[in-house]
Amino acid sequence: MSETDRTRFVISNVKVIGEWDWTKPQRCMVCFLEIKENDDVVYCPYCYHPAHREHLLEWLHVKGKCPHCQHPLREEELLTSLEGIF
């Protein structure tokens, strides 16, 4: 796997705190199904995990927090793209 296929999250160039493999399919953090190219996807602005829009909206209506990072979350905060984030 080439370095362009991976993104590393580093604090002060000292410690790798996570790694994302862009060659693996993304999965919805609510239903755990693979996210397909034309699916309506949103991202948590705190942990950046993806979800199908409708699934996460239903989740937030009941729980009011991200199913992954547990941060309190409102619909208005959801990201529709990670462009420019990384």
Residues 27-78 pLDDT 10s: 999 999 999 989 999 999 999 999 999 999 999 999 999 999 999 999 999 9
CATH number at residue 58: 3.30.40.10
More confident site: 17 or 33: 33
In a domain, 8, yes or no: no
In a domain, 34, yes or no: yes
Residue 12's pLDDT band (cuts 50, 70, 90): low
Q: How far apart are CA 51 and CA 67, in angstroms?
A: 10
Domain span including residue 30: 25-86
Number of domains in the chain: 1
Q: How far apart are CA 42 and CA 73, in angstroms?
A: 12
In a domain, 50, yes or no: yes
Residue 14's pLDDT band (cuts 50, 70, 90): low
Contact in structure between 48 and 85 (CB atoms under 8 Å): yes
In a domain, 57, yes or no: yes
Beta bridge mates, 13: none
In a domain, 63, yes or no: yes
In a domain, 49, yes or no: yes
